[in-house]
Structure 1
Amino acid sequence: MTDQTQILEAAPAAPSAWQRIKDSHLWHSFTRDRVAQISLAIFVLYAVMALFAPAIAPYDPYDPSQIDILNSEIPPSWDEAEGDENFWLGTDAQGRDLWSTILYGTRVSLMIGLCAVALQAVLGICIGLVAGYFGGRLDSLLMRLADVQLSFSTMMVAIVVLAVFQATFGTELYQDLAMIMLILVIGIAEWPQYARTIRASVLAEKRKEYVDAARVIGLRAPRIMFRHILPNTLSPILVISTVQVANAIIAEASLSFLGLGMPVSEPSLGSLISSGFEYIFSGSWWITVIPGVVLVALVLVMNLLGDWLRDVLNPKLYKG
Structure 2
Amino acid sequence: MRFFKKITGSNLFYNFLRDPMAIGSATVLLFLIVASFGAPLFAPHNPYDQTTIDIMDAELPPIWTGAADADSRFLLGTDPQGRGMLSTMLYGMRVSVLIGVGAVVLQSLIGIIIGLIAGYKGGRLEALLMRLADVQLSFSTYMVAIFISAVFQGIFGMGVYSDYALGLLILVIGFAEWPQYARTVRASVMAEKNKEYVEAARVIGLPQWRIMFRHILPNTMTPVLVISTVQVANAIMSEAALSFIGLGMPPSQPSLGSLIKSGFDYIASGSWWISLFPGIALVVLILSINLLGDWLRDYLNPKLYKD
CA distance in 2, matches of 1:96, 1:153: 35
Residue 230 of structure 1: how far off its partner (Å) = 0.9
Residue type at the aligned position of 2:210: R
Q: 1:248 to 1:88 in 2, by over 3 A?
A: same
Deviations 1:17-36 (A, max 9, x none): xx997864332321111111
TM-score of the superposed pair, with normalisation by structure 2: 0.95
Residue type at the aligned position of 2:198: V
Tell me what 1:156 maps to. 143
Tell me what 1:214 maps to. 201
| The one of 282, 289, 292 aligned to 1:302 | 289
Residue 318 of structure 1: how far off its partner (Å) = 5.8
1:286 aligns with 2:265: no
Tell me what 1:241 maps to. 228
Deviations 1:12-57 (A, max 9, x none): xxxxxxx997864332321111111100111111111111111111
Tell me what 1:186 maps to. 173
Residues 129 and 199, structure 1, Cα contact 8 Å, conserved in 2 = yes
Residue 305 of structure 1: how far off its partner (Å) = 1.1
Moved more, 207-216 or 105-114: 207-216
* RMSD between superposed Cα atoms in Å: 1.7
Higher relative contact order (CA 8 A, sep 6+): 2
Residues 107 and 177, structure 2, Cα contact 8 Å, conserved in 1 = yes
Residues 68 and 95, structure 1, Cα contact 8 Å, conserved in 2 = yes
Residue 156 of structure 1: how far off its partner (Å) = 1.0
Tell me what 2:12 maps to. 26
1:250 aligns with 2:237: yes
Deviations 1:82-113 (A, max 9, x none): 32221101111111011000000000000000
SS of aligned partner of 1:177: helix
Tell me what 1:45 maps to. 31
Residue 68 of structure 1: how far off its partner (Å) = 0.6
| The one of 84, 89, 96 aligned to 2:76 | 89
Residue 221 of structure 1: how far off its partner (Å) = 1.0
Q: 1:21 to 1:123 in 2, by over 3 A?
A: closer
Tell me what 2:210 maps to. 223
CA distance in 2, matches of 1:278, 1:312: 44
Residues 21 and 27, structure 1, Cα contact 8 Å, conserved in 2 = no
SS of aligned partner of 2:44: coil
Which consecutive segments of 4 or more residues in structure 1 shift more than 3 A?
Answer: 19-25, 316-320
SS of aligned partner of 1:118: helix
Residue type at the aligned position of 1:53: A
CA distance in 2, matches of 1:195, 1:317: 26
CA distance in 2, matches of 1:228, 1:173: 45
| The one of 95, 98, 106 aligned to 1:108 | 95
TM-score of the superposed pair, with normalisation by structure 1: 0.91
Tell me what 1:57 maps to. 43
Residues 76 and 87, structure 1, Cα contact 8 Å, conserved in 2 = yes
SS of aligned partner of 2:64: coil
CA distance in 2, matches of 1:115, 1:74: 34
User: Equivalent pairs: percent with the same residue?
Assistant: 64
Q: What is the total number of aligned residue pairs between the two structures?
A: 302
| The one of 234, 238, 254 aligned to 1:267 | 254
Structure 2 residues not aligned, in runs of 5+: none
Tell me what 2:118 maps to. 131
CA distance in 2, matches of 1:157, 1:237: 23
CA distance in 2, matches of 1:71, 1:183: 33
CA distance in 2, matches of 1:315, 1:120: 26
Structure 1 residues not aligned, in runs of 5+: 1-18
SS of aligned partner of 2:88: helix
1:277 aligns with 2:259: no
Residues 73 and 95, structure 1, Cα contact 8 Å, conserved in 2 = yes
Residues 182 and 252, structure 1, Cα contact 8 Å, conserved in 2 = yes
Larger Rg: 1
